[in-house]
Structure 1
Amino acid sequence: MNTAHYVHWPKGLPHHLIVPSISVHENLQISAQRYPDKAAIIFYDSVLTYRQLHQEVLALAGYLQQVCGIQRGDRVLLDMQNSPQFVIGFYAILRADAMVVPVNPMLMTDELDYYIKDSGAKAALVSQDVFPRLAPLVGCAAFQHAVVATYSDHLTCDTTLKVPDFVKAAADVPASPQITPWKTAIAAGLSPTAHQATPDDLACMPYTSGTTGHPKGCIHTHRSVMFNIVASPTWSGPIVPNNVALAVLPFFHVTGMQSVMNASLYCGGTLVILPRWDRDVAGQLITRYHVTNWTLVPSMMIDFLSNPRLPEYDISKLTRVSGGGAAMPAAIAQKLLDLSGQVYMEGYGLSETMAPSHLNPPQRMKQQCLGIPFFNVDSRVVDPITMQEVRQGESGEIWIHGPQLFQGYWNDPEKTADAFAELDGKKFFRSGDLGYIDEEGFFFFTDRLKRMINASGFKVWPAEVESMMYQHPAIQECCIIAARDTYRGETVKALIVRKPGAVIHPEEIITWAHEKMAAYKVPRLIEFVETLPKSGSGKIMWRLLQEKEAANNAA
């Protein structure tokens, strides 16, 4: 194990952290006991206290158990934008001793069908803006109940902020024995049974995709989820209930879920929730509520700092600005430093590690750097062929050993076995990312061993998109690659061989794709080709096409 990074360890912190051996729900319960009348959530100026938040969690947990029949270990889909209801739903599922299956609210019906069938979810907590995509699936097999939330139920006071139409929309939930309005479920006032979940019970299963084209569920227990809830705020500190976090990263993603939502509630802090990115509303909220903590992706910061209204906003109270998913451009990081005195803290993590495994130390932050392995983490750079560690400065696959590692992929022992390897008597997760370690022990990303496109922090897996594109009647062959995009970093490009006699235009394919898949997966660039290069075994040589695209961009 390389310990060169210990020289730059945050002052006063141990190398190994001890975290509570309790369920994740108990973090909220404890904060509600400590700070009952403190603001837990601010939603367009409407306040939900810790007492009110926990009361709604208990009522919804009781409804899930007594009406929806949810039992210990069952899976419940959570499908909505950032909102008070997402937080309530997340903790209610855990309080009901069940497992949260968070999904991207941009997913379409066919995509949701896969998640439901694969996870075996029995019920869903879903918002009414995305419910029409889920509605056809309710009542199929084991999936028998949906509790539908209306965001405007938590707009309890007037506001001068610009509220999106989908947030202020009135309740519009169809009547059905299997479909319950959120307010009705809460108003039933049902109490949950005694909390049974232990640290080793199932807690959360975010999905990640891979080269097979099918998303894979990452199994996390309360123990693995709890570690980064505690470790992340401890790293940059201080852990105080005065912290105010602007929640703009989606909660369904592990960074927004862990480093923002769960960490804030563990600390007794306040979440200022923004369901959809709006640079002006973000600036108003930062100013109005003296936001101290802000985790975001580079594309948001680029947009925020380019706002001509930026001088109107007071960002002087910020004490931590952090993120990941893509490298922050040096010029943007410098502008942030000049305006706020804050250095953008970059980190690295995956769904399999439930957010960070590496972070830059607060006193020694390098830009466009993954950081160093933080509490309890042993990380190596390994030659993926020889399975031996490479020398300092050489590129190899990043391997991770730590308490935040997932238990494996849901119902997929073969891929689980492929994801882990042993080194020096320890079990390491093979990240599929390539990088190197510098002379000070800091990790840097260089490439991907796995095939993946990173569009503004959203992970797009080409094989998954290809499998859906082949449903189009005019497409004979298709290869998805990454193309450079000045705003998103990367975007999705489709190289398509049309079926003989087919007449189709790029705009038609893009429009069709929007009906079949989440918007961030839709190819924004379409190129028709006569043939696609193939290997001797007949496989499309995507890497050759990707390298050609990169060369064209560099020219």
Structure 2
Amino acid sequence: MQKNEFWPKGVPQTLRVPQVTLNHYLLTAAQRYPDKPALIFCQREVSYAELHGSVEAMAAWMQHELGVQRGDRVLLMSQNSPEFVIAYFAALRAGAAIVPVNPMCTVQEVQYYAEDSGARVAFVAQDLLPHVEPLLKSAGGAHLEALIVHAYASALTPEGIQDLPEAMRYAAQPLSQPGMHAFEQALQWQGAVQETGVGADDLAVLPYTSGTTGHPKGCYHSHSTMLASNVGSQVWRGLNVDSVFLAVAPLFHMLGMQNGMNMPLTLGATIVLMPRWNAAHAVELVERYRVTAWTAPPAMVLEFFAQPSAQTRDLSSLAMLSGGGAAMPESVAAMLAERFGLSYNEAYGLTETAAFLHANPMQRGKRQCLGIPTQSVESRIIDPATLQELPQGEVGEIVTRGPQVMKEYWRNEAANREAFIELDGKRFFRTGDLAMVDEEGYFFMRDRLKRMINVSGYKVWPAEVEAMMYEHPAVYEACIIGTPDPKRGESVVAVIVLKPSHEGAVSEQDIIDWARERMAVYKSPREVRFVSELAKSGTGKIMWRELQEQENRRTAESSNTV
């Protein structure tokens, strides 16, 4: 691997991956800083000693009462909470692996995760029981033998409960169904954990990717791949034991799991944990707890700094702002720099790479950029059809290799054959992302392999057009999709949320005329649609694929009626 000219000073090019488990770091932090807050949640502080003690009790109970052992998989379905953290590390301590489940999943989706992973035990929040209970064998299901149920309000004061969203404020309810177990009761277990012999290469986390077609695929992440990502990130960004992290992104997703939970606990730092995203409350928490580090997608950052309170509260402690998943609009990045003295450290990663893969150097970042391959990572741009490496400046697919890349897709050889290729005797993972490399070795996204609009033979990359749309003073959010065009093949549609101050003052044609002055005519939207909001995923990403599929269905129905 050739070292980039702008490689950050003091950061080694090669990553030394720890040969221990994630739980090793929790034990170490509890021994070093027993009284230090590990978690702050709705005015409740959980020290490292208390967190470690809860994890040990839960793990021992799982082994003794449920027979959980090395190699088992355990579902975890919950909003952000101390119970999520305890469940996660308890399953690992008992020798099992965690299968994180999006709280928005339906019964059918949870059933698929249980079937595919082979899980027989699940942690589930009380409010989400209707999505999991039908899978319990005692309820007639065919998969789960035991549910460990928690209520978010159980350990909170009356004042702290008021910080919860209303739907999460309920106290623990009696559990009458056989196979259901109360989380708080399990924490009272007095026995010791039986050592399992789990090592760095054992399965730790099995997150599922959404994918564009077919069923989701499980990503086999060991303790080693998870640690490679989070240790690399903390060194790159200069984070330390006294950092205070705001954890807002959902912990079931790699962005939140790694940056909001695993990395802070690996450091022995403090996590200010939010149950759900609330921009105004987030501003308050940053000031109250002197938060220093926050990783979030651009949409959250945009809403945070748009709060009136962000202009008046003391946010001076915030030193490191980072994220990925979508490009930070140039206008927003400029605002952060000018008004708050902050730069948004854009990075790039996938579920398959345990988040951290590429990042911008902290002292020489480029906006709307994926950065450069980080420690021990080698990435190339290839022609998706021929698999030949492309010269600098040409758009192709990112392929990558590094210690944080998953071992494989879980029990899916067909997917593995498609995803992994050999180049020069090395195993590379095909990301499915289209990008180009500039003359200084920085990578720039040009969208997903299948997200491209073909206008009269010209390729239009939606991310490029979206970035330009954010320059318009009236645009709050934008998503670019394609629609069939009888003359051009496809044409460009901009779906836009206006800033409240510009509603009624700007027309669709005004936006079209503005865009045509600033980009090639084939890139410029031929149609603009105003909406009140854009659908987002649980991690705050605009769900462009959903909008595109809606458009495809609409045009198909229109053609059928002609």
Q: TM-score range by the shorter chain?
A: 0.7 to 0.9
Residue 282 (structure 2) pairs with residue 286 (structure 1): no
Question: Is residue 230–residue 356 contact of structure 2 (8 Å, CA) maintained in 1?
Answer: no
Spell out the pairing of 1:338-353 with structure 2 (5 A cutoff). 338-353=338-353
Cα separation, 1, equivalents of 2:421 and 2:258: 26
Q: 1:76 aligns with which of 52, 59, 74?
A: 74
- Correspondence 1:60 to 2:58: yes
1:275 deviates by: 1.2
Matches of 1:357 and 1:193, distance apart in 2: 35
Query: Are residue 267 (structure 1) and residue 278 (structure 2) matched?
Result: no
Q: Which residue of structure 2 lines up, in the alignment, with residue 212 of structure 1?
A: 213
Aligned to 2:302: 302
Q: CA deviation at 1:210?
A: 2.5
Measure the CA separation in 2 of the matches of 1:130 and 1:63: 23
User: Matches of residues 29-40 of structure 1 in structure 2 within 5 Å?
Assistant: 29-40=27-38
Q: What letter matches 1:390 in structure 2?
A: L
In 1, distance between residues paired with 2:331 and 2:116?
44
Letter in 1 for 2:185: T
Distance 2:286 2:450 in 1: 38
Deviation for aligned residue 1:484: 4.9
1:190, distance to aligned residue in structure 2 (A): 3.6
* Structure 2 equivalent of residue 327 of structure 1: 327
Q: Deviations for 1:328-383, whole angstroms, at most 9, x for unmatched residues?
A: 11111122222321100001100110001100110111110001000000000011
Say if 1:22 and 1:485 are closer, same or farther in 2 by CA, change over 3 A: farther
Opposite residue 233 of structure 2, the aligned amino acid is S
Matching of residue 169 in structure 1 with residue 170 in structure 2: yes
SS at match of 1:152: coil
Contact 1:45/1:157, CA 8 A, preserved across alignment: no
Aligned residues: 478
Provide closer, same or farther for how the CA distance between residues 119 and 160 of structure 1 changes in structure 2, counting only shifts above 3 A.
Answer: closer
Query: How far is the alpha carbon of 1:8 from its aligned partner?
Result: 1.0
1:189: Cα distance to partner? 3.0
Measure the CA separation in 1 of the matches of 2:51 and 2:153: 16
Deviates more, 1:409-418 or 1:5-14: 5-14
Q: Secondary structure at the match of 2:55?
A: helix
Percent identity between the aligned chains? 44
Q: Distance in 1 between matches of 2:497 and 2:211?
A: 25
Q: What is residue 134 of structure 1 aligned with on the other side? A: 132
Is 1:116 matched with 2:132? no
Residue 421 of structure 1 aligns to a residue whose secondary structure is strand
Instruction: Please name the residue that 1:150 is paired with.
Output: 151
1:431-446 matches, cutoff 5 A: 431-446=431-446
> Mean alpha-carbon deviation: is it higher for 444-453 or for 176-185?
444-453
Once the two structures are superposed, the pairs formed by residues 89-488 of structure 1 within 5 Å of their partners are 89-139=87-137, 140-156=141-157, 158-159=159-160, 162-239=163-240, 241-450=241-450, 484-486=494-496
One-letter amino acid matched to 2:59: A
Question: In structure 1, what is the Cα distance between the partners aligned to 2:251 and 2:17?
Answer: 22
Measured in 1, the distance between the counterparts of 2:161 and 2:148 equals 30
Partner of 1:469 in structure 2? none
**Distance of 1:251 and 1:408 partners within structure 2:** 22
Q: Partners in 1 of 2:496 and 2:51 — Cα distance?
A: 41
| Mapping for residues 451-530 of structure 1, pairs under 5 Å | 484-486=494-496, 528-529=554-555
Contact 1:360–1:370 at 8 Å: present in 2 too?
Answer: yes
> Do the aligned residues in 2 keep the contact of 1:70 with 1:122 (CA within 8 Å)?
no
**Matched-pair contact (CA < 8 Å) for 1:218–1:352:** yes
Q: Deviations over 1:142-197 (max 9, x none)?
A: 42001011111231473497431233221125322300111011123343211421
Match of 2:457 in 1: none
Once residues 115 and 263 of structure 1 are traced to their aligned partners in structure 2, the CA distance between those partners, rounded to angstroms, is 26
Asked if the contact 2:135/2:142 (under 8 Å) is kept, the reply is no
* AA aligned opposite 1:308: P
CA deviations on 1:293-333 (whole Å, 9 max, x unpaired) are: 00111111111122122223221111100001111111111
Q: Secondary structure at the match of 2:87?
A: helix
C-alpha root-mean-square deviation of aligned residues, in Å? Answer: 2.6
What's the offset of the Cα at 1:531?
Answer: 5.1
Segments of structure 2 that go 5 or more residues without pairing to the other structure are: 453-461, 467-480, 482-491, 499-541
The offset of 1:487, in angstroms, is: 5.7
CA contact (8 A) 2:153 2:161 kept: no
Give a deviation string over 1:226-284, Cα, whole Å, max 9, x none: 11121111101142x21100000111111111122100001110000011111111011
With over 3 angstroms needed to count, the CA separation of the structure-2 counterparts of 1:196 and 1:484, relative to structure 1, is: farther
Superposed displacement of residue 114, structure 1: 0.8
- Alpha-carbon contact 2:232-2:356 (below 8 Å) kept: no
Q: Tell me which residue corresponds to 2:505.
A: none
Is contact 1:420-1:428 (8 Å) kept?
yes
| Residue type of the alignment partner of 1:129 | D
Structure 1 residues 372-423: Cα deviation after superposition (integer angstroms, max 9, x where no partner) = 0000000000111111110000011000110011111111111111100111
Q: Identify the range of structure 1 (42-51 vs 128-137) with the bigger mean alpha-carbon deviation.
A: 128-137
Q: Say if 1:224 and 1:403, in contact at 8 Å, map to a contact too.
A: yes
1:98 Cα deviation (Å)? 0.4
Whether the aligned pair in 2 keeps the contact of 1:349 and 1:357 (CA below 8 Å) is yes
SS in 2 for 1:158: helix
